[in-house]
Structure 1
Amino acid sequence: MSKVVLVILDGLEYSTAQQCMGGLLALCNANMGKIYKMKSELPSISRPLYECILTGVKPALSGILNNYCKPFSSNRSIFEYAKLANLKAGAAAYYWISELYNKTLFDRVKDRIIINEQSLNIPYGIFYYEDDYNDSHLFSDAECLRVKFDLDFTLFHSMNIDDIGHKFSHDSKEYRNAARKVDTILSSLVLKWLEEGVNVIITSDHGMNNDGTHGGNLDIERDVAFFVFGDKFSFARVEVEQSGICGLVCEILGVDHDKSFAKELLK
């Protein structure tokens, strides 16, 4: 069993990650991690892909096909697998994560900060509801939960890159600089996590097009980065699938699960 951090950088397209995430790429070049190109599932929209990443169920099968579909998830997530194994799991994330796995609909007062509420799938959480909620605060929120409550699985979910992409589009200095800002925060955190023996996955739900939207089948809407860091990973050349993230995380956590994943990713 190893502790796991999963970082979802909402809206970060693959080529932008390759061009702008210099800190993370430096760690990869030092053989401390590896970057893969991953194709997001369709539609390339947030809520369906949160469900895909966290449960391994593709949107066509989950029935969550747009951001306006607001059911409570009917599929078992990483959070539930961890809970069944008596592991501690938490998240600092956009409120749609709370709506999928804790409670629908989100109450901005009652559901924003969750501490040791064992009746919930995510018993430790800080959930935000503004897309421009500052990434510096988000990463502090999640790291505070991880450290203070000694979490075994922590989800960090950042929205600023996506928010900037909608405002300025993919091919803009603002979008690229949003990625660079996150890289500055993350590269230092990843070193800390590796020193603690934590295994780390950094990816995105979808990319961004030059209209400032996403949802379709363009490469820039679907191609995302998939970074891995930690001693459980083989760094082998292998095709990675978005629907395999849930099973991969569960395998590293050492919990019983019935999800598929690329076994070649692990030693």
Structure 2
Amino acid sequence: MSNKLIFIMLDGLRYDTAVSQMGYMHHLIEQGKAARYKVKSELPSLSRPLYEVLLTGTPVYQNGITTNQTVRLSKEESLFHLTKKNGLTNATASYYWVSELYNSAPFNPMTDRIQLNPNNTIERGIFYWEDHYPDTHLFADANYLLQTYEPDFLYVHSMNIDDDGHKFTADSKEYRNRAIAVDILLASVLPQWMDAGYQILLTADHGMNDDGQHGGTTTADRDVPLFLISDQVKPGIHEEEIPQLQIAPLACELLNIKPAAAMQQLSIQILKGAPSI
């Protein structure tokens, strides 16, 4: 059984849109290859704070990344730190805020776009800084990193769903069509990535409301999907609502590494052999 993991984060994808628009992902579920859960995001339902939540498993009041304008390195132990600590390799194709959290801040587009330094917390990184940077390019960046470096942990951060949500609102054909477009990209890359022995964890940071914004407490702001493809996970559609703070310790379990001391203990019963909730 492989413990290699690709963590895909689709920025701004709300749960109901994922359920209604992502046909390929649901094909995998229907064929017993994937599982789907609902995740309740932490607050505030903003991007940079929730990047830190997803990658460190710590709440905002603790980690101090409270706004999108909090530009500094994380003080927590992230999945990137933990993979290096355990002798695993890591890579990412991500929005530049991820670099600012775990490699260096502030980000300089002229020097920091491509970072290939095994001494960094993020060892191999390709970063973008415009929200409309095409997801087609982003997944090509991720595929390059996978084929070239074969990292044990690959974090892929897509921004186009969030971008269209802000431009056109969640109740728009543009937002729904962008979710379909990402699903088609997933259908193009996931078969190869799964054949290469990778488990897949796919989720979102936050949702999007019908005003084209997020940050609040509504289900539109907070409810996001979790898709899992792994021999360790029970396939199918599951109705349990998972706290977002459980995602990082779940990733550690899939990677077969010890979680950080600041992370919650993994309490959700997702893995095969675990008693049902």
Query: Is 1:266 aligned with 2:266?
Result: no
Write the distance in 2 (CA, Å) between the matches of 1:210 and 1:146: 36
Q: Is the 8 A contact 1:197 1:230 kept in 2?
A: no
Write the distance in 2 (CA, Å) between the matches of 1:263 and 1:191: 27
- Residue 245 of structure 1, aligned match among 244, 247, 260: 247
Q: Output aligned runs, 1:70-149, within 5 Å.
A: 70-115=71-116, 117-149=117-149
Query: Is 1:254 aligned with 2:251?
Result: no
Secondary structure, in 3 states, of the residue corresponding to 1:265?
A: coil
- Structure 1 residue 244, shift from structure 2 partner: 1.3
State the superposition RMSD in angstroms.
Answer: 1.3
Measured against aligned partners, the alpha-carbon deviations of 1:65-120 in whole angstroms (never above 9, x if no partner) come to: 110111210000000000011111010000000000000110112211011x1221
Question: What one-letter code is carried by the residue in structure 2 that aligns with 1:219?
Answer: T
Query: 2:192 corresponds to which residue?
Result: 192
- Structure 1 residue 263, shift from structure 2 partner: 5.1
Secondary structure, in 3 states, of the residue corresponding to 1:146?
A: helix
Write the distance in 1 (CA, Å) between the matches of 2:179 and 2:171: 12
Query: 2:204 corresponds to which residue?
Result: 204
Secondary structure, in 3 states, of the residue corresponding to 2:3?
A: coil
Range that drifts further, 231-240 or 55-64: 231-240
Secondary structure, in 3 states, of the residue corresponding to 2:109?
A: coil
| TM-score normalised by structure 1 residue count | 0.96
Write the distance in 1 (CA, Å) between the matches of 2:140 and 2:234: 29
Secondary structure, in 3 states, of the residue corresponding to 1:182?
A: helix
- Structure 1 residue 191, shift from structure 2 partner: 2.2
Residues paired across the two proteins, number: 266
Q: Output aligned runs, 1:170-189, within 5 Å.
A: 170-189=170-189
- Structure 1 residue 134, shift from structure 2 partner: 0.1
Query: 2:275 corresponds to which residue?
Result: none
Write the distance in 2 (CA, Å) between the matches of 1:180 and 1:229: 19
Q: Is the 8 A contact 1:73 1:100 kept in 2?
A: yes
- Structure 1 residue 251, shift from structure 2 partner: 1.6
Query: Is 1:67 aligned with 2:68?
Result: yes
CA spacing shift, 1:18–1:77, aligned 2, 3 Å: same
Query: 1:55 corresponds to which residue?
Result: 56
Structure 1 gaps, min length 5:
none
Q: Is the 8 A contact 2:40 2:241 kept in 1?
A: no
Write the distance in 2 (CA, Å) between the matches of 1:191 and 1:210: 34
Range that drifts further, 219-228 or 242-251: 242-251
Question: What one-letter code is carried by the residue in structure 1 that aligns with 2:82?
Answer: Y
Query: 1:159 corresponds to which residue?
Result: 159
Secondary structure, in 3 states, of the residue corresponding to 2:155?
A: strand
Write the distance in 2 (CA, Å) between the matches of 1:262 and 1:29: 26
Query: Is 1:6 aligned with 2:7?
Result: yes
- Structure 1 residue 262, shift from structure 2 partner: 3.6
Write the distance in 2 (CA, Å) between the matches of 1:219 and 1:118: 40
Write the distance in 2 (CA, Å) between the matches of 1:80 and 1:210: 37
Question: Percent of aligned pairs with the same residue?
Answer: 44
Question: What one-letter code is carried by the residue in structure 2 that aligns with 1:107?
Answer: N
Structure 2 gaps, min length 5:
273-277
Query: 2:221 corresponds to which residue?
Result: 221
